Structure 1
Amino acid sequence: MFARFTDSARHAFVTAGVLALEAGHGRLGTDMLLLALAETRPFSLDSFTATAASLRERLELRDTRALLAGLGISLDDVRQRTLPGVGEWRLTRHRLRPLRVVLYGPRGEIALTGGARKVVEVALWRPGAVTGESLLWGLLADGGNGAARHLQGAGVNVRALVNEVRMPTRP
């Protein structure tokens, strides 16, 4: 499924998986995808003003950077050492259970929630390469996943963001 992803979109998606694994989540959800987009910024959107710290706070996720920094360990250095093989990660649909999509890699494997699977399907639905903007479009297309609410709570003008990524809207 990663065949059409740009390198930056693939990196963002793998980062989301690593964040979910680090947090001890059993599945990769839309909250981790949103946080990964804020951390990796695989796009140049002026309207995406949310920071990873503001979204972490909204999502009530602890920042492991502070814990590790107290021990003299840089989380960014650890991630750089463990993520160099982004190409070693793969996103696949289960052959017998087609609604099950799993991210496999050197750090482990994690199944996507239904919402995260929808993000991928919307991003793949658009013609051309899957970019960071495509992943963001997938997040914003499903009003039930809370991405727009979290972005708005982090100070993002969601209407301007929707216009900037050229999402179709209802009149």
Structure 2
Amino acid sequence: MFERFAPEARRTVVRAGLLSLDAGRTVLDDDMLLLALAEAWPVDGFEVSPDAVRALLPAGPPDRPGDRDLLAGLGVDLDEIRRRLPSRRADPAAWRLRRPRTRPLRVTLSGPAGDLRLTVAARKAVEVALYHAARRTDGGGVVDEDLVRGLLADGSNASVAILRRLGADLPALAGRLWPLRASA
């Protein structure tokens, strides 16, 4: 799937995955896609700061006390391991976005830092982005704008709720992303 992504969008999805892993999540949700886009895409009409998005994210899952304590008892510092991971951790070329043949509705982001299953909302955002990229005539792959289109396609997902709470002008943003075509 990633072969149909432009490098910038690929970096954004990998960044969202890393943000999810750093937050202790086991899945990649649309709110982390929004945070990664806010970090990567500060353009007109999408003036949402990463800090503002981060402040509205739901609290991450609490650490399972047994895991961290067990590793600490063995002399393993989980945070130190994360810091020492090779630089390939964030290298988009080392990551894959795949759909297993046996479970076609499941999409997984896999890389050196771990595997994350995309939630329904995140998968829908990626699929809408792929759809819009395929319809463009420039032959390019999925770009960050397509990912924003994917997030806005479902008005009931967490990322749209965050944008509304931040006071983003969603109709203006949608109008910019989906301009009306002049009738011939």
TM-score interval, normalised by the smaller of the two chains? 0.7 to 0.9
1:144 aligns with one of 156, 160, 177: 156
1:90 aligns with one of 81, 90, 96: 96
2:51 aligns with one of 47, 50, 53: 53
Distance 1:152 1:81 in 2: 36
Return 5+ residue gaps in structure 1 as ranges. 63-76
User: Shift of residue 61 of structure 1?
Assistant: 4.9
Map residues 7-86 of structure 1 onto 2, 5 A cutoff: 7-41=7-41, 45-61=43-59, 81-86=87-92
RMSD: 2.2
Secondary structure in structure 2 of the residue aligned to 1:143:
coil
Distance 2:176 2:96 in 1: 30
Distance 2:150 2:45 in 1: 16
Distance 1:31 1:85 in 2: 22
Distance 1:153 1:57 in 2: 11
1:154 maps to: 166
Tell me the amino acid that sits aligned with residue 48 of structure 1. Answer: F
Regions of 4+ moved over 6 Å: 77-80
Return 5+ residue gaps in structure 2 as ranges. 61-82
The total of aligned residue pairs comes to 152
Q: Identity of paired residues, percent? A: 43
Q: Indicate if the aligned counterparts of 1:2 and 1:91 stay in contact, CA closer than 8 A.
A: yes
Kindly indicate whether residue 118 of structure 2 is the aligned counterpart of residue 112 of structure 1.
Answer: yes
Distance 2:37 2:5 in 1: 14
